[in-house]
Structure 1
Amino acid sequence: MSRQFLAEGLELSGGDRGVVAVVAVVALAALAVGYVLLKEVLAAGQGTDKMQDIAKAVQEGAAAYLNRQFRTLGIFVVIVFVLLFALPADDLAERIGRSLFFIVGAAFSATIGYLGMWLSTRANVRVAAAANEEGGREKATRIAFRTGGVVGMTTVGLGLFGAALVVLVYAGQAPKVLEGFGFGAALLAMFMRVGGGIFTKAADVGADLVGKVEQGIPEDDPRNAATIADNVGDNVGDCAGMAADLFESYAVTLVASLILGTAAFGVQGLLFPLIVPAIGVLTAVIGVYTTKAKAGESGLSAINRAFYISAVISAVLCTIAAFTYLPSSFADLNGISDAVKSTSGNPALIASVAVIIGIVLAGVILWLTGYYTGTDHKPVKEVGQTSLTGAATVILSGISVGFESAVYTALVIGAAVYGAFLLSGSVVVALFAIALAGCGLLTTVGVIVAMDTFGPVSDNAQGIAEMSGDVHGEGAQILTELDAVGNTTKAITKGIAIATAVLAATALFGSYKDAIDQAVAKVGNLTGDLPISFTNVVFSPNVLVGVAIGAAVVFMFSGLAVNAVTRAAGAIVFEVRRQFRDNPGIMDYSVKPEYGRVVDICTRDSLRELATPGLMAVLAPIAVGFGLGVGPLAGYLAGAIATGTLMAVFLANSGGAWDNAKKLVEDGNHGGKGSDAHAATVIGDTVGDPFKDTAGPAINPLIKVMNLVSVLIAPAIVTFSIGDNASDPIRIAIAVVAALIIVGAVVVSKRRGTSITDTPAETVSNGAA
């Protein structure tokens, strides 16, 4: 069934609108719960005046960066809004809705990112203060996790409310309008991921190389000019970036589910994907409030227990909802084609099993990622042990962990996708089952966001404690433990985010094919077979070329992100060195470092560097689609998804293993802090920083942005390829312009260079590095 049929024939009854209204109310209830958690977090004590002064500096730096970033991205959003409005649509209302909800999706993504930053920069000092109190471990864990709970509830609340609002207003046209909503969320998330990732890792690498390696001072020593920027980066990269990333995963998965659901299940398929995340709101509340560390219990154990409890409850409630709301036969579904009505199988059973597959996938990814990045397991212990033979073996062992974990993770995700696909002999229904698996995974997104935010909040708390010198003994040990737990939870959520990206992108293939079929059906006076550019079988050479280009774009995107960190970190190294050299009093605490100068360098360089990867993500599908055709573009997407999955897991888990191997040594293993083994793990962690916090996480929104761009431009490619309006000159011209812009952006980026020489800080500040 095409979307054109749905737009004209699919209507919501009063009862259907009532269901959507209830979902909208649940979404607003999620926002209310988030507000309650927010008040609880802000009610906690803030520690000493010195701790509050440090926290204030981090708050100001983070807010200044995001404000500048949003002003920069605002121009880009306006340009995309105009281009979206120019793309073909069934009618003016659909065109206006798609463009307006692009703005809404971008605004929601930005709001969630900003909230994540704003609250985490206020919760960090409260976590540090709680660690000093009686029952410090339990109090600090609760504050850090409930900080994430606020962002998690806001993520599910805004995502679900936006989708419900579109369905209420547009009914059968909702899937098309939601393409704009998902694209806005994905685009902002990608820019926030790339920019925030460059900022945080430039500061972190610069701080480690000069402070820990060259000067031999602790990680968050106040004498290091990069420490404030490092703490700022944790918030704009991990909190703001990941919150926006998971929000757009939520939005894009809903888009794919609603597009495919209307074709597979009719009206019920349009509404059931809203019911599943509404149940996720309830389980998220349960998960957040059941996260309580028992006396002497590891914070990770408490967090994992809450996750599994919420996952089991989600599975049970979604199964009940499927058998209550959906019929037992396709013949009883409303608003579907005769071909789908004749499909065998039980829609309620298919939907419930698909959702359970997604929930189980989340649990398996949690365990698998925890195994490869946790300090209690063999892989990280082996990486730590290799520190006894130097930095080279640390790096080699970490790379090995990343490669191995990527294989198993890809197999697990592939098994989930194929398992959902096997639920029906109908391709349309099978694709909807894959989308529902994504919805099932995202029933736990509230807890997942809480887990992710826990990491940078704990990291910042330890930094504030160390810089202030006001947390000692057991309190300091508690913060060290929470920091290690946070490293693992961040790695886990990166793995789950990758899984959601793959499920959403795979489901979007169905909507991509639907967009092509619809556009072909509209072309008049078409005779004969379609051109070879429409061929989408994998053994066709032009499709294989598309696969290769898609894989190559992932490599280029990753390389650009890592190079950006290299350049920005070089500027930080020179600045911190200069301050130590020109102000000897810094080492004896008689002179205060110029923290703001480092924050300014990170801000400027990260905003400058995010343009090239962003342009590539948007324009590469346009160049391939208009230049080679819709068949090779399908191959391009397949190559990008497959390569992106492996690359993202490899980068995230290698970096996570290196980071926690360093924590093991700092806890007294293999010689402890100050030893040669410690220096080796610091080098490994420095290499892993742009892997796990810049390039790796940015691949998630990258593959979803490219898929959504492809869905949006598919009708235009068809229009210029066949029929009365076909125009090869226009089609080729669009492809050439897109390719030239990409080439120009890459050339400009490469001219900045990655060669680092010890030049004056003023030269570096002007962009010569």
Structure 2
Amino acid sequence: MSRHFLAAGSAELSGGDYGIVAVVAVVALAALVIGYLLLKEVLAAGQGTTKMQEIAKAVQEGATAYLNRQRKTLAIFGAVVFLLLLVLPAEDWSERIGRSLFFLVGAVFSFAIGYLGMWLATRANLRVAAAAREGDGAREKAMRIAFRTGGVVGMITVGLGLFGAAVVVLVYAGQAPKVLEGFGFGAALIAMFMRVGGGIFTKAADVGADLVGKVEQNIPEDDPRNAATIADNVGDNVGDCAGMAADLFESYAVTLVAALILGSAAFGTAGAGLTFPLIIPAIGVITAVIGIYITRARAGESGLTTINRSFYISAVISAVLSAIAAFVFLPDSFAEATGSPAVIATVSVIIGIVLAGVILWLTGYYTGTEHKPVKDVGKSSETGAATVILSGISVGFESAVYTALVVGAAVFGAYLIGGGVALFAVALAGTGLLTTVGVIVAMDTFGPVSDNAQGIAEMSGDLEEGEGVQILTELDAVGNTTKAITKGIAISTAVLAATALFGSYSESIESKLRELGMTLTSTDLFLDRVVSPNTLIGVMIGAAVVFLFSGLAVNAVSRAAGAVVYEVRRQFREIAGIMEGTTRPEYGKVVDLVTRDSLRELTTPGLLAIFAPIAVGFGLGTGALAGYLGGAIAAGMLMAVFLANSGGAWDNAKKLVEDGHHGGKNSEAHAATVIGDTVGDPFKDTAGPAINPLIKVMNLVSLLIAPAVVTLSVGPDASDPLRIAIAVVSVLIIAAAIVVSKRRGNAIADTPSNAEATNAS
């Protein structure tokens, strides 16, 4: 068999290597300082009218209460996993303790970044709405505040991710890759929970608000008479801001984990394998600062064009600086493989950067209001909701194919360039994509901040029809597209990281087999059962888990949204004066409702992600687990893009109609696109984005359990009864969680009074 990865040597850091890593740590701290300066700039902006501030405060309180309650749920999972990591095999107790401790660090960093994203977004939305009222220069100022809000979160994301990795390398040196498995796992696990919980919250509130407000009562999206509007605005922040910030942080951390593991293997005892994968993201810090500060709206230019230009400029700068770094810092040869490290690294990093640019363009084409796909979905609204849904599904399917081909070409291109260090080249492509993360986070946060700003303006009534309203409407539409773009780039990062982790998984198995005294030939035979039925079964299970996970997420939104519909209907029916605007709806009840429902839905997907690979690995073996990971990566890639882009197309088709096309607001075409958007909401903001951390959590679990699977499968300590028992217990845990989830109903929806009211209506 041709070797595409190398046995990991124990990398040793020289004095110069320690100096490089220390400089990287300083760059990471500088990113945090710049984030703080941007934060002060955002908070210095005007806060608008008293009524605007009251609405913003309600959103702030709801978002903070939700994340505080979510933190308690996550702390339980964190404590359990911390103890389990202490039990898993490691080289020594220092490695075990470090892996568990940095699991907590990764988890805390992930939650902190999500929390910061929420905290700042709930304050910036008010300031963007206020800026839109300021006359001359209002558009540029509103856009600058929204984008620099994202810039704060972007700088904190890259700063904490890079600082955490640099500290581990400084402290653990050759053991750093193993310890970083815990760091990446903590970041990925918390991100998945925040994605799922926040996604259920935001889309339950959004769908419930739209179905009762727009469709049944024929009132605007953010009308203050709708009891779900505050919950909807809260959801934008705990789902899109907190969820995506944590998601991109864990992508950052996990990609670094894979690059450092494979870099150590590629360069053996040389320290370059531990330093170069840190240098490339450090370059990304510099280019992120440039990208954020050069984003300035020009007269007559669309906001999306402005943001895209900044992205492309920062990407080009990253490519140039990364090439220089490769030729300056890399040695002349690899430990065992042939080829020029500088050339391979340069081309691989550029492949990752180019991939980010292509995904930006491709996703923008399929979800932007100015392009044919969304225009076609908008046109289909003239014949009803069914054709809107069908055309949106078509867009999702088609875009998934092209995105998969582009990402596949990038992975294969890096693989071919790498030769004997092929998987290290794939990991470097991932680090190349990481150089754009600071700007990507800014683009993503821009969306919900703009959306909330429009909501605050509409609910307060303090922004009359005119230029201010047009500014916020434009920024909201641009934000829909930037959110879709960042989801496309996030899943691309997930695939690159998961592919590299797949190589790390193979290396972990080989290392354990050699430790048990098996020959390399035996190792090859052990890993190469490609045509084994076990492997094929693993592929099918891996793909099936992605579908099951997506189904659980969408079903959770459906149940929670149903409860919101009942509650909003009840308030319209029972509280006099709501429609006349003389009585304030009970906003807090809807916030409490979706908070409860979203948090109780976290357990099942979390248990599925952790225990499914354990069941396959211990039950069917390492070959089946390899197939499982392959099936999950492939199906996850296609499913995530399909869900994100179909949902994005439906959302912007609705915006297109609301801008006056095909009959405009309150027309039958508008009602049809609202239905399409409500279907797309859990697609693009719950199930789709949650797949990104899902596939990385499953890869990291597989990487962590691989030595134990090998130990119980072959060698002197092999034990089939224990191995099968672990698999059976894992299956029973998953089955019990799914049964409980499926039997779970809505407390409000199941009450007789609501059922009778629904029948009466």
Shorter chain as denominator, the TM-score bin is over 0.9
Matches within 5 A, 1:658-697: 658-697=650-689
Could you tell me whether the CA contact under 8 Å between 2:8 and 2:262 is conserved in 1?
Answer: no
Decide whether the 8 Å contact of 1:207 with 1:573 is kept in 2: yes
Q: Secondary structure of 2:418's match?
A: coil
| Distance in 1 of aligned mates of 2:520 and 2:579 | 80
Report the Cα offset of residue 269 of structure 1: 1.7
| Of 475, 478, 481, the match for 1:485 | 478
Q: Which amino acid in structure 2 is aligned with residue 283 of structure 1?
A: T
Q: Partner residue of 1:767?
A: none
Give, in whole Å, the separation in 1 of the partners of 2:340 and 2:48. Answer: 58
Find the counterpart in structure 1 of residue 759 from structure 2. none
Query: Partner letter of residue 385 of structure 2?
Result: A
Give the letter aligned to residue 416 of structure 1: A
User: Is the CA contact 1:422–1:430 (under 8 Å) kept in the aligned structure 2?
Assistant: yes
Against the structure 1 CA distance between its residues 237 and 18, is the aligned structure 2 distance closer, same or farther, given a 3 Å change threshold? same
In the TM superposition, residue 3 of structure 1 has moved relative to its aligned partner by 9.7
* Contact persistence 2:510–2:523 (CA under 8 A): no
**Which one is further off, 751-760 or 23-32?**
751-760
Q: Cα deviation per residue 1:81-122 (whole Å; 9 max; x = unaligned)?
A: 000010000011111100000000000000100000000000
Match of 1:246 in 2: 248
Partner residue, 2:613? 621
Q: Which amino acid aligns with 1:100?
A: L
Deviation at 1:295, TM superposition (A): 1.7
Give the direction of change, closer, same or farther, for the CA distance of 1:670–1:759 in structure 2 (3 Å limit).
farther
Query: Of residues 251, 254, 257 in structure 2, which corresponds to 1:255?
Result: 257
| In 1, Cα distance between equivalents of 2:627 and 2:740 | 29
**Within-5 A mapping of 1:70-469:** 70-133=71-134, 134-265=136-267, 266-327=270-331, 329-330=332-333, 336=335, 340=336, 343-426=337-420, 429-469=421-461
The answer to whether the Cα contact below 8 Å between 1:655 and 1:687 also exists between their aligned partners in 2 is yes
Q: Aligned pair in 2 of structure 1 residues 763, 232: CA closer, same or farther (>3 Å)?
A: farther
Whichever residue aligns with residue 358 of structure 2, its letter is V
- Preserved CA contact (<8 Å) 1:535 1:632: no
Note if 1:40 corresponds to 2:41.
Answer: yes
Distance (whole Å) between structure 2 residues aligned to residue 527 and residue 177 of structure 1: 26
Deviations 1:109-139 (A, max 9, x none): 0010000000000000000000111211100
1:15 aligns with 2:16: yes
Whole-angstrom distance in 1 between the partners of 2:613 and 2:283? 35
Call closer, same or farther: CA 1:450–1:58 in 2, change over 3 Å.
same
Contact 2:199–2:239 (8 Å) recurs in 1: yes
Which runs of 5 or more structure 1 residues have no equivalent in the other structure? 765-769
Q: For residue 489 of structure 2, what is the aligned residue in structure 1?
A: 496
Aligned AA for 1:196? G
Structure 2 spans left out of the alignment, 5+ residues: 757-761
* Contact 1:574–1:758 under 8 Å retained in 2: no
The TM-score normalised by the length of structure 1 is: 0.95
Secondary structure class of the residue paired with 2:301: coil
Change in CA separation of 1:528 and 1:299 when aligned onto 2, cut-off 3 Å = closer
Task: State the shift of 1:225 in Å.
Answer: 0.2
Aligned AA for 2:628?
A: Y
State, as a whole percentage, how many aligned pairs show the same letter: 79
CA displacement at 1:584 relative to structure 2: 3.1
Relative distance call for 1:258 and 1:223 in structure 2 (3 A) is same
Aligned partner of 1:576 in structure 2 is 568
* Matched residues, number: 749
Residues 518-527 or 142-151, more deviating: 518-527
Is residue 748–residue 754 contact of structure 2 (8 Å, CA) maintained in 1? no
Q: Which amino acid aligns with 2:496?
A: L
Q: Which residue of 2 aligns with 1:514?
A: 507
Whole-Å separation in 2 of the counterparts to 1:531 and 1:11? 28
* 1:475-528 CA distance string (max 9 Å, x none): 011100000000000000000000000000000111101110111122258999
Distance of aligned partners of 1:66 and 1:683 in 2 relative to their CA distance in 1, 3 Å threshold: same
Residue type at the aligned position of 1:600: D
Partners of 1:617 and 1:762 lie apart in 2 by: 35
Secondary structure in structure 2 of the residue aligned to 1:498: helix
User: What code does the residue aligned with 2:45 have?
Assistant: A
How far apart, in 2, do the equivalents of 1:357 and 1:760 lie? 59
CA contact under 8 A between 2:658 and 2:665: conserved in structure 1? yes
Q: List per-residue Cα deviations over 1:404-459 (Å, max 9, x = no partner).
A: 00000000000000000011321xx1100000000001101000000000000000
Q: 1:528 to 1:446 in 2, by over 3 A?
A: closer
Residue 594 of structure 1 is matched in structure 2 by: 586
Contact 1:662 1:681 (8 Å CA) reproduced: yes
Question: Aligned to 1:6, which of 4, 9, 19?
Answer: 9
Q: For 2:517 and 2:18, locate their aligned partners in 1 and report how far apart those are by CA, in whole Å.
A: 37
2:32 counterpart SS class: helix
Task: Output the CA distance in 1 between the equivalents of 2:29 and 2:324.
Answer: 23
The change in CA–CA distance for 1:673 and 1:755 in structure 2 (over 3 A counts) is farther
Cα RMSD after superposing both structures: 1.8
Cα drift, residue 538 of structure 1: 3.0
- Match of 1:543? 535
Residues in 1 aligned to 2:460 and 2:749: alpha-carbon distance in whole angstroms: 34
- 1:655·1:685 contact (CA, 8 Å) conserved in 2? yes
| Structure 1 residue identity aligned to 2:670 | H
1:722 deviation in Å? 1.0
For the pair 1:700 / 2:692, whether they are aligned, the reply is yes
The alpha-carbon distance between structure 1 residues 762 and 75, as it changes in their structure 2 partners (threshold 3 A), is: farther
Post-superposition offset of 1:610: 1.4
Question: Once the 2 structures are TM-superposed, how far is the Cα of residue 11 of structure 1 from its aligned partner?
Answer: 1.8
User: Residues 125-159 of structure 1, C-alpha deviation per residue, up to 9 Å, x if partnerless?
Assistant: 00000011121110000000000000000000000
- 8 Å contact kept, 2:8–2:265: no
Query: 1:762 Cα shift?
Result: 8.1
The one-letter code sitting in structure 2 at the alignment partner of 1:552 is A
Q: For 1:758 and 1:637, how far apart are their aligned partners in 2?
A: 39
1:730 to 722, 736, 744: 722
Match of 2:629 among 601, 626, 637: 637
Q: Counterpart amino acid of 2:456? A: I
Inter-partner Cα distance in structure 1 for 2:750 and 2:218: 20
Letter in 2 for 1:147: T
Q: In 2, distance between residues paired with 1:71 and 1:294?
A: 45
What one-letter code is carried by the residue in structure 1 that aligns with 2:144? R
User: How has the CA–CA distance of structure 1 residues 38 and 432 changed in structure 2, closer, same or farther, with 3 Å as cutoff?
Assistant: same
How far 1:41 sits from its partner (Å)?
0.1
Query: What CA deviation, in whole Å up to 9, does each residue of 1:260-305 have, x standing for no partner?
Result: 0011134212110100000000000000000000123211111000
- Contact 2:7–2:507 (CA under 8 A) maintained in structure 1: no
> Quick one: structure 1 residues 354 and 524, their matched pair in 2 at CA, closer, same or farther if it must change by over 3 Å?
closer
Write the distance in 2 (CA, Å) between the matches of 1:528 and 1:294: 63
Contact kept, 8 Å, 1:526 with 1:723, in 2: the verdict is no
**In 2, are the aligned partners of 1:624 and 1:735 still within 8 Å (CA)?**
yes
Contact 2:14 2:271 in 1 (8 A): no
Alignment of 1:548-559 (within 5 A): 548-559=540-551
Contact 2:59 2:234 in 1 (8 A): yes
- Cα shift at 1:758: 7.7
Task: Tell whether the 8 Å contact from 1:3 to 1:173 is kept in structure 2 after alignment.
Answer: no
CA distance in structure 2 between the aligned counterparts of 1:524 and 1:446, rounded to whole angstroms: 46
Compared with structure 1, are the counterparts of its residues 387 and 5 closer, same or farther at alpha carbon in structure 2 (3 Å cutoff)?
closer
C-alpha change, 1:540 and 1:59, in structure 2 (3 Å) is same
Deviation at 1:6, TM superposition (A): 3.2
